[in-house]
A and B are shown apart, each in its own frame.
Chain A
Amino acid sequence: MVVPLGSTASILKYIRPKSFPTPFCPGCGHGILMGAILRAIDELGLDMDSMLFVSGIGCGGWIPSPHFNADTLHVTHGRPVAFATGAVLFNPKLNVVVIGGDGDIASIGGNHLIHAARRNLDMTVICANNSIYGMTGGQVTPTTPLGAMTATTPKGNPEPPFDLSRLVAAAGASYVARYSVWHIRPLIKALQKALLHKGFAFVEVLSSCPTQFGRRNDLPTPARMLRHFKETCVPISRAKDMSPEELAGKTLIGEFVG
């Protein structure tokens, strides 16, 4: 059965009126993710006065700042998890949510990410993973697939990417899930679990960037990018019965630690 999503009007109250229009390109997955986060909050009935959103630099950092009508801390590149550490340790009553891109959270911020996971700090980290530096012009990141074209890999990316969810799970996070912006219902469910979770919750969200990633990699339209997620993502439960050949080029989605 298809569960209907809450109406757009129901989430508008969480957005600062002065922050429109959004800075995202048409077809950017970050808009879908933004809607998913706010729907998760709305359905849970969380109090925005007790929520703190921390983000760094890059398109992903714009998801909460300036949009979300709550306390928002928009910090230096790569450091939102470390800033969030201070806020949540000093005031554990804050519901702290870090939102950022893969360049921000996993590259320059990788050290803070694994240590916060190891400490199992009580925060939710949402990584909008589009496998590219969007805002600075489409350079390679630690999650760019092997062989993918970027502004700094003219012959295709020679480096294998991080499997972020597995990395963070191995580091000690007590909740880890991965979905794409195509898998919107399970994504909202996972976000809700993460928001309610006591301890370090990590949600990796495969997000579409037609502007910088898609156009270089044969996925030039927003619809084509979303379909790509649909075709290449395999639920962990189903992957158990699949051969390595069948799993080649696929991305596992679901709860890694739950």
Chain B
Amino acid sequence: MQGDEACAEGAIAAGCNYYAGYPITPASEIMEHICRRFADLEGRVFIQMEDEIGSMASVIGAAWAGAKAMTATSGPGLSLMLENIGYALITETPCVVVDVQRAGPSTGQATRPAQGDVMQARWGAHGDYEIIVLAPWSVSEMYTETIRAFNLAERFRVPVILLSDEAVGHLRENFAVPPLTRVYHREKEVGSPPFGSSEVPPMPAFGEGARLLVTGSTHDEWGYRRTSDAHAQASLVERLVSKVRNHLDEVTAVERYLCNGELDVLLVSFGFTARSALGAAREAREAGRRVGLLRLRTLWPFPEDEVRQTAAGARYVLVAEMNRGQVLREVQRVAPNAVGYHKTDGEVITSDEILVAMGNLG
């Protein structure tokens, strides 16, 4: 199965019952697969919207009507969606946005892989907020991490971005559908304030008699606009940030490979590039060099504690990514000696290239 198709299957397993999208390479297969599968399933709604802005808007409208809603796109489409992703952030709307990255900027190389949307995913909307971004590296994870994205979205009432790339999206691999362990559903409660009685307030749907007042303006716990109220703005932003930050243990996921003992080189990577990094680490180990890999499955909030601890025992830290150093800078905040290996020519980074880069470390 292809990565994009596995993502669609994961969404269905997670209970996704609303999908709105707009065609874009290399993410279109997600929409096409969902469309085909929804046609034979009860209670699932699919629409191809007029553009990405409308797709994201209708996803949020559906989520407030009670849906588990998703859209998928690539970098240029994510750019268009970001204003409404900001709306989802301030209104605490659970939803999933898949970005199958391609090489940019602008139309760039529509059919080539890249990892250049790391910062766009984190900071693309304006204002202050916390967002969750996951980075799958395999077809099997396109399935499982899509489910995790839905569960985190429902748990924290946030939009969650699944940040994939062309190489993973179009990858074909065998995978066994894992048994579902848990699917999370948002808490509902008619009659309690939907915006602030607790860290993650309950969220009733439209049509259930809650008489919801939902607005993208600064609001109080019942949704009334409070745009001149310094306290309302400060406490809203504080909660939007801390409701995620206070639960990093539920959000953060990293994997360590060959990281036992003292390390000569710690490789840090994510997405497709981490596969090449693992290959490079294995080859280096065989050649007698102590090399380990730290793979970031959660990119945002950035797993800085995990990076700091793992990097502490390593002589060198090398960050491999298909961009000009977006994750490198984050790593350098906690491991100042980190250096990067970057590639932005639309080709994937190979194990051999990482081995050469390690050889140049000193």
Q: A residues bordering B, Cβ < 8 Å?
A: 16, 18-19, 48-50, 52, 54, 65-66, 69-76, 79, 82-91, 93-94, 111-112, 115
Contacts and interface: CB of A to CB of B under 8 A. Distances in A.
A54 B91 CA distance: 14
A76 B50 contact: no
B62 A65 contact: no
B236 to A, nearest CB: 15
B65 A65 contact: no
A111 B54 contact: yes
Nearest to B46: A89
A112 B54 contact: yes
B61 A83 contact: yes
A115 B17 contact: no
Contacts of B64: 73, 87
A65 B213 CA distance: 7
B63 to A, nearest CB: 8
A69 B45 CA distance: 28
Given A52-B206, A79-B84, A87-B206, A112 B50 contact: yes
Nearest to B50: A115
List of 5 A-B pairs having minimum Cβ-Cβ separation, nearest first: A86-B61, A86-B58, A86-B62, A82-B57, A83-B61
A85 B54 contact: yes
A240 B46 CA distance: 44
Contacts of A73: 61, 64, 206, 212, 214
A75 B216 contact: yes
Nearest to A64: B213
B216 A89 contact: no
A89 B207 contact: no
6 contacts: A71-B212, A71-B214, A73-B206, A82-B49, A90-B67, A94-B206
Contact of B18 (A48, A76, A86, A93): A86
A89 B47 contact: yes
Q: Which of A54, A76, A88, A94 has the most CB of B within 10 A?
A: A76
Given A82-B61, A90-B17, A115 B54 contact: yes
Interface string B108-141: 0000000000000000000000000000000000
A79 B54 contact: yes
Contacts of B54: 79, 82, 85, 111-112, 115
B211 A82 contact: no
Contact of A74 (B63, B211, B215): B215
Size category of the binding interface on chain B: 35 or more
Nearest to B43: A90
B60 interface: yes
B67 A86 contact: yes
Given A74-B217, A82-B57, A82-B61, 14 more contacts: A49-B207, A50-B207, A65-B213, A66-B224, A71-B210, A71-B214, A73-B64, A79-B54, A83-B57, A85-B47, A88-B61, A90-B18, A90-B67, A112-B50
B283 interface: no
A94 B207 contact: yes
B293 to A, nearest CB: 41
Contacts of B205: 91
A16 B224 CA distance: 10
Contact of B209 (A49, A75, A111): A49
Contact of B51 (A52, A65, A83, A111): A111
A70 B45 CA distance: 25
Contacts of B17: 90
Nearest to A57: B216
B95 to A, nearest CB: 10
B50 A89 contact: no
Contacts of A79: 53-54, 57, 84
A91 B206 CA distance: 9
B60 A86 contact: yes
B84 A76 contact: yes
B66 interface: yes
B211 A87 contact: no
Contacts of A84: 61
Interface string B29-64: 000000000000000010101110110011111111
B225 A66 contact: yes
Contacts of A54: 61
Interface in B73-119: 83-84, 87
A97 to B, nearest CB: 12
Nearest to A79: B57
A18 B220 CA distance: 12
Contacts of B209: 49
A167 to B, nearest CB: 15
A86 B206 contact: no
A112 B58 CA distance: 11
A89 B17 CA distance: 11
A89 B62 contact: yes
A74 B216 CA distance: 7
Contacts of A69: 211
Contacts of A19: 224
A93 B208 CA distance: 11
A94 B63 CA distance: 14
A118 to B, nearest CB: 9
B22 to A, nearest CB: 11
B20 interface: yes
A73 B57 CA distance: 11
Contacts of B18: 86, 89-90
B214 A94 contact: no
